[in-house]
Every structure is written in structure tokens, then in C-alpha cells.
Amino acid sequence: MTTISYPTFIRRPNEYASGIWGWLTTVDHKRIGTLYGVTAFIWFLIAGIEAILIRIQLSQPEMSFVTPEVYNQLFTMHGTTMIFLVVMPLSAAFFNWLVPLQIGARDVAFPRLNAFSYWAFLFGGILLNFSWLIGDAPNAGWFAYAPNTGVKFNPSNGVTFWIIGLQILGIASLAAGFNFFTTIINMRAPGMTWFKLPVFIWMTAVVNVLIVLAFPVITVALIQLQFDRLYGTGFFNPAMGGDPVMWQHMFWLFGHPEVYILILPAMGIVSEVLPTFSRKPIFGYSFIVFSGIAIGFLGWFVWSHHMFTVGLGPAANAAFSVSTMLIAVPTGVKIFNWIGTLWGGSIKVNTALLFSVAFIGMFVIGGLSGVTHASPPSDAQQQDTYYVVAHFHYVLFGGSLLGLWSGIYYWWPKFTGRFLNEKLGLWHFGIVLLGFNLTFFPMHWLGLDGMPRRVATYPEGMGWDVSNLVSTMGSLLLGVGVLIFIYNIIYSNLRMPKNASNDPWDGRTLEWSIPSPPPHYNFDVIPEVKYRDDFWYKKYPELVDNTHGGGSDYEDQENHEVDHADIHMPDPSYYPLFLGLGLTVMVGGLIPFTGHWVVSAIGLIIFIWSFLGWSYEPVNG
């Protein structure tokens, strides 16, 4: 049986290509994780600048630092960028790096699809932000409520950029979701049953299930909005029988699982960092795991709590109020489990631990303000005020971002072989924590006092001036903290010695059993797993009697010498990059501009060429 030799105009790369071409064609999950991390951080800086511009505009009443039109674009892009281009990709960076390492695999289930996810993310993000360059960024908020986004009130291309960009990012996320979920189910090391998995892997599994189930809904909603705007359908147009509230339903059906997608990875990271630096296993493993699953499941039934003021009626409001309060319970269980982990442990204080502990504190504050939203009468006061802004920044910045930073400090030695400087890290932590609280804590009372969100300025004499100024100062302090972090990265790369051992923190999970940074093939020998936190018990066999969750009656296999030539790793490929490019060009060509169908056709050709090439190229021998 012969294979069709597919015509290629570019030389196929060798097994482990070097240089830039190596990075462009990589299918190695570790490199893809690094790509995600670096790209996401650059978007973080851009979105941060957008935030600082917003804060400058709001520092004093009646400022005209930016026009209201630009202000709308700023908060829209700040939100969209932070959610889709920063927090989700940073989580993806950790998934990429850690999932194969912690389950004892050599790579993910579909390495090329993994690479494609990254390239689609990169090109989609560029397309979305390209709208800034033409002065026509989306301006309807990250939630894009109809009818503001309809063609009648928003005829320019900004919102179309938002729709198209999000579709591409959605496809990238979906592909990653399929990939990681398959990997976790199917590529665990022998003996690693579900209840021996690290908590981070459990959270990753739940997150990827949420992605896989929630993103189709936003895809449909975006298609409907796109058709309304460009092709004259009437999904959200009352004149044709449509209903703008349907957009809210569709969006929040996606949007609420989305916020759990944003927070659960950070919770997973914290659940890894705390046990290591308390030298204790996570307290109540089963409870944390089941709470994570419960959050993922219940998160589907709370969406209308974003719509309490829309007029759904008392029955609907009551039902969603109950379900929202219910979902606070598993979250609370996790908080107690983390505290229980620290309690009585042999605590080692360093930057990673500090960020994780701060996560607990800040997330609890955000959670409390969230619970006050769960009551419709109370929410009627808070809706569309700065109280909401305080709430979600406490859970997203104080939660997700602090958790991600904790993970960065914790795993940096594993990823790069060097440590991040601890002293700079402490400064980074302190300034960020102070700046963050200065920025967002005043927003609680500003909101309760009635300051509306998404409005470019506020009048004098409302009594809001001082708090806004403090908030702006805080945001500038935050900027300084981020600069310190950047300096830390540069310092680490230039000055810190590349001397990290396999296991600098005396960790518990499998990734600490291999060199730092890991070799291309991860494990010399795929480990046979006997216990939860198996690596810990390999190091300290005298502690084996204390194992929770028990071991299986697995016979110990002898380690045999392995010839590394036997290990087959997947070949690099340039098709993921071109498929991502083709997808972006093809879908981007749907934005109406002169000659856009030609652009779309070119994208289609690139897409088909890449798709066929990918299907027919021989997978590694």
C-alpha cells in the first residue's frame, strides 16, 4: 500500500530542528507552553497599559484624557484581552508544561493539534488587536450586549473584529480542550488511577471539559451576532421577531462556565504549591476533587445571575439566586482544605508560597462580594456599579493572577533550570499586593455609593474624587510591581546560575523526578505509579504507612537501562502554523473591507493545503 506523496514546497524539518525554525515547527509541549507563556505575558503588558489609561482617565472628575469613544474601546479591549489573551493562555501554558509531566507521559495525545492551538491563539489575538491600528477597536464591552452591537448602533467594523477574533480564539481553545482531556484520560502512566492524580491535573480535566462544552455555545452566539450584523438576520432584532435578551442568555450560558475556566487552573496551582511548602499532603484530597467537579457542574445552572436586573421575573430570579448561593459551598470547602493543608505544616516561606497564601485571602474577599451579588435585591443595587468591578478583579487578579504568579515562581526552576531571584520576588509580591488592594478595594464603596461602570468620567461633587485618585495611584504601583517582575525575569536569565536540581523544593509530584529543564522525551523510563504523590513516597519510603488513598498491588518493575534512541518522539511540523494562519486569514476575510472575499479565498486555500498536508504527512516512525 503506497502513500500519496504530498507535494511540499518547504523542506521537512529534522527530528529536533534548531533555531527559529525549530520554534516555528515545534510540537513539543514544553516549548509550546513557553510560547504560550511569553505571548500571554506580552498581552498582559498591553492590557495593563489599557488599564492604566482607563485609570488615568478616571483619576479625576471630568477629565478628558481620552474621549468617551476611545474609553469604550479601552475597557472593552482590556477585558477581552485579559480574559482571552492573558489568563486563559497563561493557564494553557501551565497545562502544556505540566500535564504530561505530572501524569507521566512523554507528550500530549495530539502534539500537532497542540501546536495549532498556540498558533491560532497567536494569530487570533493579533487579528483582534489589529483593530486598534485602524482606529476601530470593539467598543461594546467584553460581553457585547445586543442591541448595542447590532448594525444599527454599531455600524463600523470594530465589533466584527471582536466577533471574528473570538471565533478564532474559540477554535484554538476547543482544540486544546479536546487534546488535554484526551491526554488526561488516556495517557496516564501505568498505575496512575484517577484518584492518584495531582489536584492540578483534576482541575485541568474539569477546566477542559468546561471548555469543550461551553465554547460551542459562544460560537453559536457569535455566529448569530455576526449574521445579524452582516447578513441581515434577526436573531437579536425585535423588528424581525428577535430578542436582545437572547444574546444575554447565550453569552452568559458560555460566560459563566468561562469564569470557572479562568479560576480553576489557579486553584489547581495553589493546591500544588501549598502541600510542597508545608511538607504535608493536600488536606482532604477527595473533597477538593469533588468540589472542583461540583463547581464545574453547578456552574452551568447559575448563568442568569448576570441578568437579575433584566426582568426575568421573581421565579427565575429566585431559582438562580439559590443555585448561585449553592455554588459558594464547594468553593468554601476548597478554602478550608487549603487552610487545613497549611495548618500544622512545616512551612517554608518563599515567594511562591506567599502568592498562594495571598490568593486565599484575596479570593475570599472576592468570593464574599460575589455572594452579596447572589441576592437579587442586593444585586439590583450593585449591578453596573464599581462594586462588580471590585468583585471580579478580586477573584480574577487576586485569584487567578496571583495563583498563576505563584505557579511561575514555583515551576520556573523546572522550566528553565534557573531560579527567579527571591529578593526581587518578595519586592514584586509586596508591591503588587499593596498596589492591587489600593486599586480595587476603594471600588467596593465607590460602587455601593453608586459610581457606574463603563462610563468615561464622573461629575465633581459626588465624593468619589479621593477614592478614584487612590485607585489610580494603586494601579501605577501595580505597574511598578510588574516592572519588578520583568526585571526579575531578565535578572534570572542573565545572572542566576543554571543550577537547579531535579527537585529543588522537595516536591511531591512526578515532574520533580526528572532534570530541570526536562529532556525532550521527559522521562527516561515511564514511571510505574503506586501511590498518590508517588514521587514523595519513593523519596521517603518510611512514610509509606501514612499514605492516604492507598496504593495498588502493583509489582515493582525492574528499571532497565534504556537506549534513548529507542524513544520515538513526534516529528516537528510546519502545518500547524500554516493551518492557524490559514484559519485566521480565511475567517478574518469575513470582515467587510474592499477585496475581503479574495483574502478569505486565499485563507481557504492555505487552510485546505495545510489540512491535507497535515492529514497525509507521515506521523513519526
Partner 1 sequence: MSNISATEDHYTSTGVDNRKLMMWIFLGSDCLFFGSFISTYLVYRNRSLVGPYPNEILDIPITTVSTFVLLMSSLAMVMGLSYVQQGRQVLGRYWTLATALLGMVFLGFQVFEFTHFAHVGLTPRTNIFGSTFFTMTGFHGAHVTFGVIWLLIFAFSRLASSFRQKMLIFASFLSVVITMVGIMMTETLDVIPHMPFSLAMTVTIIGILGTIGSLYLLRVPDTEPEKISKEEENLELAGLYWHFVDIVWIVIFTVVYLVSAKDGAPLL
Partner 2 sequence: MKIVIDLGKMKDSLVSMYNGFLGHDTKGYFRVPDTPQDLPNPENDTPWVGSIKYSIEKFNKITRKDGHGTPIFYVWIGFILGAITLIEFGIFYVEGLGVLMIPLLLILSLLKFVMVVGFFMHLRFDNKVFTYMFASGFVLATVISTVLLILLAIKP
- Provide the total of helices (H) and of strands (E) in the chain, helices listed first: 19, 0
CB of 519 to partner 2, least distance (A): 31
Q: Which is nearer to partner 2, 97 or 181 (CB)?
A: 181
**559 by DSSP, 3-state: which?**
coil
Buried b (16+ CB within 10 A) or exposed e, 89-110: bbbbbbbbbbbbbbbbbbbbbb
In contact, 210 and 261? CB cutoff 8 Å:
yes
- Whole-angstrom distance, CA of residue 471 vs CA of residue 440: 7
User: Does position 188 bind partner 1 by CB under 8 A?
Assistant: yes
User: Does position 17 bind partner 2 by CB under 8 A?
Assistant: no
Q: Which is nearer to partner 2, 127 or 253 (CB)?
A: 253
In contact, 530 and 67? CB cutoff 8 Å:
no
- Whole-angstrom distance, CA of residue 203 vs CA of residue 201: 5
CB of 311 to partner 2, least distance (A): 6
CB of 514 to partner 1, least distance (A): 14
In contact, 234 and 242? CB cutoff 8 Å:
yes
Partner touching 316 among partner 2, partner 1, none, CB below 5 to 8 Å by kind: partner 2
User: Does position 219 bind partner 1 by CB under 8 A?
Assistant: yes
Q: Which is nearer to partner 1, 545 or 563 (CB)?
A: 563
User: Does position 179 bind partner 1 by CB under 8 A?
Assistant: yes
User: Does position 23 bind partner 2 by CB under 8 A?
Assistant: no
The DSSP annotation for 191-250 comes to: T--GGGS-HHHHHHHHHHHHHHHHHHHHHHHHHHHHHHHHH---TT-GGGT--HHHHHHH
User: Does position 111 bind partner 1 by CB under 8 A?
Assistant: yes
CB of 505 to partner 1, least distance (A): 27
Q: Which is nearer to partner 1, 255 or 474 (CB)?
A: 255
Which amino acid is present at 344?
G
The number of angstroms, rounded, from the C-alpha of 282 to the middle of its chain's C-alpha atoms is 23
User: Does position 241 bind partner 1 by CB under 8 A?
Assistant: yes
- Residues forming beta bridges with residue 452, ordered by sequence position: 385
Q: Which is nearer to partner 1, 49 or 562 (CB)?
A: 562
User: Does position 232 bind partner 1 by CB under 8 A?
Assistant: yes
- Whole-angstrom distance, CA of residue 230 vs CA of residue 145: 17
- Whole-angstrom distance, CA of residue 283 vs CA of residue 462: 48
CB of 11 to partner 1, least distance (A): 22
- Three cell numbers written together for 72: 469604550
In contact, 97 and 411? CB cutoff 8 Å:
yes
User: Does position 568 bind partner 1 by CB under 8 A?
Assistant: yes
CB of 315 to partner 2, least distance (A): 5
User: Does position 595 bind partner 2 by CB under 8 A?
Assistant: no
Per CB under 8 A, the list member of 253, 266, 395, 577 interacting with partner 2 is 253
Q: Which is nearer to partner 1, 222 or 431 (CB)?
A: 222
- Whole-angstrom distance, CA of residue 229 vs CA of residue 221: 12
* Positions 173 through 212 that interact with partner 2 (CB under 8 A): 185, 209, 212
What backbone phi and psi angles, to 5 degrees, belong to 481? -60, -40
Which amino acid is present at 411?
W
CB of 185 to partner 1, least distance (A): 6
- Whole-angstrom distance, CA of residue 106 vs CA of residue 523: 7
* Residue window 252-281: x/- pattern of binding to partner 1, with contact defined by CB under 8 A: -x----------------------------
The number of angstroms, rounded, from the C-alpha of 214 to the middle of its chain's C-alpha atoms is 14
Tell me the CB-side half-sphere exposure of residue 349, using CA atoms within 13 A.
5
Taking the CA atoms of 441, 81, 108 and 182 in sequence, report the sign of the dihedral they define: positive
- Whole-angstrom distance, CA of residue 426 vs CA of residue 27: 35
- Three cell numbers written together for 482: 510588574
* Residue window 521-540: x/- pattern of binding to partner 1, with contact defined by CB under 8 A: ----xx--------------
**516 by DSSP, 3-state: which?**
coil
User: Does position 133 bind partner 1 by CB under 8 A?
Assistant: no
CB of 561 to partner 1, least distance (A): 10
- Whole-angstrom distance, CA of residue 465 vs CA of residue 313: 37
- Whole-angstrom distance, CA of residue 166 vs CA of residue 465: 36
Which amino acid is present at 575?
Y
Partner touching 300 among partner 2, partner 1, none, CB below 5 to 8 Å by kind: partner 2
CB of 268 to partner 2, least distance (A): 20
User: Does position 469 bind partner 1 by CB under 8 A?
Assistant: no
Options 72-80, 238-246, 418-426, 481-489: segment touching partner 1 (CB under 8 A): 238-246
In contact, 334 and 367? CB cutoff 8 Å:
no
* Positions 262 through 321 that interact with partner 2 (CB under 8 A): 300-301, 304, 311-316
* Residue window 513-532: x/- pattern of binding to partner 2, with contact defined by CB under 8 A: --------------------
Partner touching 355 among partner 1, partner 2, none, CB below 5 to 8 Å by kind: none
User: Does position 144 bind partner 1 by CB under 8 A?
Assistant: no
Residues that bind partner 2 (CB under 8 A): 185, 209, 212-213, 249, 253, 300-301, 304, 311-316
Residues that bind partner 1 (CB under 8 A): 1-4, 105-111, 174, 177-179, 181-182, 185-188, 190, 192, 212-217, 219-221, 223-224, 227, 231-235, 239-243, 246, 250, 253, 525-526, 557, 560, 562, 566-570, 619-620
